[in-house]
Structures are given as C-alpha cells and as structure tokens.
Structure 1
Amino acid sequence: MRPRGQPMGWRSGVQAALAMLWPAATAPDEAVPDGAVPESAPAVPTAPLTPYPADRAQAYAQLRLIAAYLAEIEPHSPTPYLLRQAAAWGELPLDALLRTVVKEEGGLARFLALLEVS
C-alpha cells in the first residue's frame, strides 16, 4: 500500500485495482515443475485445427456438416437448405448447373455460347 497523497503510476494503479477486484488474478502462480502441465491447463487438440479444407471434396463435406448442424439448432432458418443446395450445385459440371438454375432458354443459350460451352 502506498501512503495517501503520493502519486501512483498507471501500471501500479491498474494492478492495485485488479488486486482489489480479483485477488486470485494477481496472486502469484503456484510453482509448476518445468515440462509439467498444470491440472487446470486446457486440453490440447490431437490434430491441428485449420480453417481451410484439404481439398474440394472436404470443403463440400464441411458445407453439408454445417448445414446439418444449423438444421438442428435453427430449424426455422433457410441457411441449411441453401448450404445443402450449394454443396449439390458444387458437384455439377457448369453446363448442368446452368441448365438447373437458368430457366430462360434464350438466356441460357446466350450464356453457354459466351462461355463456349455446348
């Protein structure tokens, strides 16, 4: 504790406030031998987590898993249906996808001609 009237640096002030509000947060850590893992340590995943799928098939499989998850927790949402449809469309060749999505024959023919797809 500092005597009243003496200035306190910002770091000391923050540490003092933390000690008053959360004494456990400022208490010294219990000694843990080198290389040992404290009992309260979070579990470490066995495989590294990556934000990107390894390949195209895994990407579409992840879309389907996400769709299934969302269908369970948000059955009223259109998102699971859209994700399932996106995964299904992703497996189609371009011309089959366009024939499925574009219903105007003239528009489809112009688009296919532009892409030089027969």
Structure 2
Amino acid sequence: MPDAKQMVECPVAAMLELIGGKWKPVILYFLGSGTRRFGEIAVRIPTISRKVLTQQLKELEHDKLIMRKQYKEIPPRVEYSLTDLGESLSPVLAEMSIWGKKNVLEKR
C-alpha cells in the first residue's frame, strides 16, 4: 500500500484532481465530439445548473483542458472546445465510458 507521500505524488490522483467531480468528465467527453456552445452543453447535461456549468467550464479553461472562444457579435457567441491537453484525455474518457457501461450501467 502506498504511503501518504506516494499518494500525494500519485499520477492517478493528480489526474483525478484535475478532472474530478460530477460534471467535468461529462463535459470533456461531450466536447470530445467537437466544438460546442454553452447552450448545447447545457441541453446535453440537463441536470446541471447554469451556475455550476459556468463554474466547471471556467475551471476546465483555467486548467488548460478547454478553450473558450468569444466572438464579437450581437448577440454574443461563445464556443468551447478541447485544447491539445484536453484532447489527450479523449482515449482515457472513452475507456472510462466503456468500463462504466459494462460494470455499472448494465448491472443496474
């Protein structure tokens, strides 16, 4: 069993710290299929509040996993997409999706 120092330096724990939470993996997985506007993300995840979605998007942008592009239009338009770093998580999230279907959803 790893000691406390090893747990702090654990790469799995570090990754989960970055993408952990209820909504971040879902947002990243959805953005893996392409650039989306805020409203598209909100519709795709109907149980998330707009406040929480905004917060999660800001955190993902701060961590350089997604990019926010704002267009100077009226009405304003903002699009979100994965950065290269975020894109590098796509295979991991795809495997998590497969595992979740097989080991969680099918057993409900």
Normalising by the smaller structure, the TM-score range is under 0.3
User: Normalising to structure 2: TM-score of the pair?
Assistant: 0.24
> RCO (CA 8 Å, sep 6+): is it higher in 1 or 2?
2
Which protein is bigger by CA-based radius of gyration? 1
User: Normalising to structure 1: TM-score of the pair?
Assistant: 0.23
